[in-house]
Amino acid sequence: MISVVHPTALVDPRAELGDGVVVGPYAIVEGEVTLSQGCILHAHAIVRGSTRLGAGNVVFPFAVLGGDPQVKRAASGAGRVETGANNVFREHVTVHGGTEGRTTRIGDGNLLMVGAHVAHDVVIGSHCVLSNGAQLAGHAVVEDWVTFGGLSGVTQFVRAGESAFIAATAACETNVPPFVIVQGDRARVRGLNVVGLRRRGVPEDSIGALRHAVRRLWFSSGTRAGALEQLAAEDDPYVRRLVAFLGSPRTEV
């Protein structure tokens, strides 16, 4: 399948374009870029630096993927961006390369809405949604199936657990546990992300077990340590993952 490059686009001859790539009017593709099969760059999209997009990624107007990170210290080594397949980067999304030779990584099937920002050295899993204006600071880690509401954000090195829902304008300065809804400044656990779990296809028995676990951990009179000790014997795999996550540092919400 032949790639199509609009005559007004600027594509460095060193860039690698797979089969069926479409590069729209006034788009820019720099020399170290790889666009895998079926990628689409709409008008005015920019892919910079040492960036590799997997198959079927779609980049909308004025999004900028790759390039230098926003750091005060001098760059050391070429920062990279690597993505999996079938991600959508809407208008004005920015994704910065890693620092000191590291790589900013994005998995498969993610939707980054208008104005979302992914800073240097961030790692995003698959099937995540970053709503308009969501902001991920450097070195953040986002597991699979996480949803960020509009204008929400996380600070450096924060980890968002799988299937978490981070409500609009939430500000997260500590790790966000998996499977829960967090909201507020600073963000706190408000309940179980039942809608997200059902959309993911989590069994109802596991959702029930997680309901019980969330009540024990955040909405009972007992201590967190006591609840974790009791839940450690739970045989549900999702509860086990929640308990294991809460043993990691900086999980205080």
Tens digit of each residue's pLDDT (9 = 90 or more) over 46-62 = 999 999 999 999 999 99
Is residue 112 located within the same domain as residue 223?
Answer: no
Do 130 and 216 sit in the same domain of this protein?
Answer: no
State the amino acid at position 51 in one-letter form. Answer: T
pLDDT of 128 strictly over 80: yes
User: Of residues 117, 120, 196, 236, which has the active-site annotation?
Assistant: 120
Which pLDDT tens digit goes with each residue over 151-176? 999 999 999 999 999 999 999 999 99
* Structural domain of 23: 4-139
75, 98 Cβ separation under 8 angstroms? no
Asked whether residue 27 falls in the same domain as residue 134, the answer is yes
What's the whole-number average pLDDT of the chain?
96
User: Which tokens sit at 145?
Assistant: 């199936």
In a domain, 189, yes or no: no
In a domain, residue 132? The reply is: yes
CA 193 from centre of chain = 17
Per-residue pLDDT tens digits for 194-246: 999 999 999 999 999 999 999 999 999 999 999 999 999 999 999 999 999 99
Q: Is 138 a catalytic residue?
A: yes
* Mean pLDDT on 96-123: 97
54 in catalytic set:
no
**Whether 18 and 129 share a structural domain:** yes
d(CA 58, CA 87): 6
Q: Which of 89-98, 115-124, 242-251 has the lowest mean pLDDT?
A: 242-251
Q: Please identify which of the residues 54, 138, 153, 196 carries the catalytic annotation.
A: 138
Listed in order, strand segments (DSSP E) in 50-99 are 50-53, 58-59, 64-65, 80-83, 88-89, 94-95
Catalytic residue among 24, 66, 96, 121: 121
Which amino acid belongs to residue 166? I
Catalytic residue check, 139: no
Residue carrying the six token digits 């790790």: 175
Q: Are residues 128 and 214 in the same domain?
A: no
